[in-house]
Amino acid sequence: DVKVTQSSRYLVKRTGEKVFLECVQDMDHENMFWYRQDPGLGLRLIYFSYDVKMKEKGDIPEGYSVSREKKERFSLILESASTNQTSMYLCASRLPSTGAMFFGPGTRLTVL
């Protein structure tokens, strides 16, 4: 089974802090994604990466950046956390030939 792990299940940070959310997948998938999930809004795509060193903006990239130095790891960075970035963050990976995505358990981030 594909396994996608995220570094923390729960995280509390202060406004202005730099925040790193880590995601690791163990099935050699080329594609990786970061979503945020908010009540009533569903899942919104922040950034995605089709392969190592590659990154593409999703629908809501403002206030975020990403890093993909190795195929298995995709990091989401909040350069200066703000309260409106309080959310559930979901990482996913995908083998392009199948189209199906595999999600991690999520990180619930609270910014005070």
Partner 1 sequence: GNSVTQMEGPVTLSEEAFLTINCTYTATGYPSLFWYVQYPGEGLQLLLKATKADDKGSNKGFEATYRKETTSFHLEKGSVQVSDSAVYFCALSPGTASKLTFGTGTRLQVTL
**Is 48 among the residues that bind partner 1 (CB under 8 A)?**
yes
**What are the angstrom distances between the C-alpha of 45 and each of 36, 42, 60, 76, 85?**
7, 10, 6, 12, 14
Smallest distance from partner 1 to CB 55, Å? 13
Smallest distance from partner 1 to CB 31, Å? 7
Taking the least distance from each CB to partner 1, the nearer of 84 and 99 is 99
Taking the least distance from each CB to partner 1, the nearer of 75 and 107 is 107
Taking the least distance from each CB to partner 1, the nearer of 28 and 79 is 28
Of the candidate residues 7, 8, 22, 43, the single one contacting partner 1 (CB under 8 A): 43
List of residues contacting partner 1 (CB under 8 A) = 4, 31, 33, 40-43, 45, 48, 50, 58, 90, 92, 96-106
